[in-house]
Amino acid sequence: MKELVTIKAIARQLGVSPSTVSRALQDHPRISLHTREAVHTLARQLNYFPSTTARNLKSGKTGIIAVVLPEIRENFFSEIINGIEELAFDRGYTVALYQSHDKVEREERIFTGLASQRVDGILVSVAKETQRFGHIQSVIDRQIPVVLLDRIPPGIAAHRVGCDMERGAYEATKWLAGRGYKRIALLNGPIALVASEDRYRGYVKALLEENLPVENALIKRVDLTTPDITEKMNQLLQSATRPDAVLAFNDYVALDAMRACRARHLRINTDIGFVSFANLPLTAYMDPPPLASVEQHPFKMGVTAVEILLATLADEGEESDFQTIMMAPELVVSEAALHIA
């Protein structure tokens, strides 16, 4: 294996001290122009690369941002990471990606490791089953900046970036009511997720304004797995007062729920309408797609989270107010809906 070139090796060949080489590589004005040029020329010839480890020890920074997400196979979270990486890479940071796979024990182990690795900052969207947050507070107590992203837990003093899900659910439910739907069901997410409660509040507010019934029988919580979604959708369909429309937690939930309806020979968006969240590209390949989907702007969410984190790092530990930035949702109506009377 070829030996790595060091500052000491360059110093030996030029007959100068290692500290002189180090300063010359940084173009320190106290080093003569002749010496600086000689050092840079030899460094290029020897393919010298500075030691990031040594530089990081000196600066106290690692140049690494950790990102903890539930599942990157989901298009929503992959778009978030795309936004994060684009800006982080441009600013000279490396992104270390971790997946909790929606398991709280795995999430806690990840944070334990991050606390000892001393990454510069952490962006996190919590697992669906996480209801205790001591592992997140622990890294904050170690002065590691944290930005809470999309799935934002309560009670933690940190920066927050998400989308206004209450407003999204409100506008989606109002839109369905405006198209004549009278019995609108809600296939909501796990109770541990704040976003589930946000959706519920927006849904109820819209129903009350439209003088439509708010019935417990029309509200189901799912654990975001296909078997549970199928079971809960079948419960709705077996009800004596079957819904004529469904507001689904996201496009994946809508897809599984729509499959359950087809199994009962119901025509999607004719016998029962669907509106969901996320506006994922996959909906373009669904026949038919949901009538509409709430765009949550995941790419922009990722970029904004990195901007806040880097600004926090630039403050070098100075106290600052925590920011809460909520993207405005956008109800995107499908082409199929435009042709339905």
| pLDDT values of the chain reduced to their tens digit, one per residue, 341 residues | 445 678 888 889 999 998 898 888 878 888 899 999 999 999 888 888 765 545 554 545 778 999 999 999 889 999 999 999 999 999 889 999 999 999 999 999 999 999 887 799 999 999 998 988 999 999 999 889 999 999 998 889 999 999 999 999 999 999 999 999 999 999 999 988 999 999 999 999 999 999 998 999 999 999 999 999 999 999 999 998 899 999 999 999 999 999 999 999 999 999 999 999 999 888 877 888 999 999 999 999 999 999 999 999 887 545 558 999 999 999 999 876 666 65
Where does residue 221 rank: exposed (0-12), middle (13-18), buried (19+ CB within 10 A)? middle
Nearest to 156, CA basis, from 134, 178, 129: 134
Give the pLDDT confidence score for residue 337 in this predicted structure: 63
CA 206-208-209 angle, 5° bins: 65
The full set of domains in the chain, from first to last, is 7-50 (no CATH), 62-164+298-327 (3.40.50.2300), 165-296+331-338 (3.40.50.2300)
Token pair belonging to 2: 């070829």
Give the pLDDT confidence score for residue 317 in this predicted structure: 46
pTM beyond 0.85: the answer is no
Give the pLDDT confidence score for residue 87 in this predicted structure: 93
Give the pLDDT confidence score for residue 340 in this predicted structure: 63
Give the pLDDT confidence score for residue 186 in this predicted structure: 98
If phi > 0 it is left, if psi is from -120 to 50 it is alpha, else beta; for residue 128 that is alpha
Q: What type of residue sits at position 55?
A: R
Give the pLDDT confidence score for residue 319 in this predicted structure: 52
- Coil, strand or helix at 292: strand
Give the pLDDT confidence score for residue 240 in this predicted structure: 87
Nearest to 237, CA basis, from 204, 262, 270, 214: 262
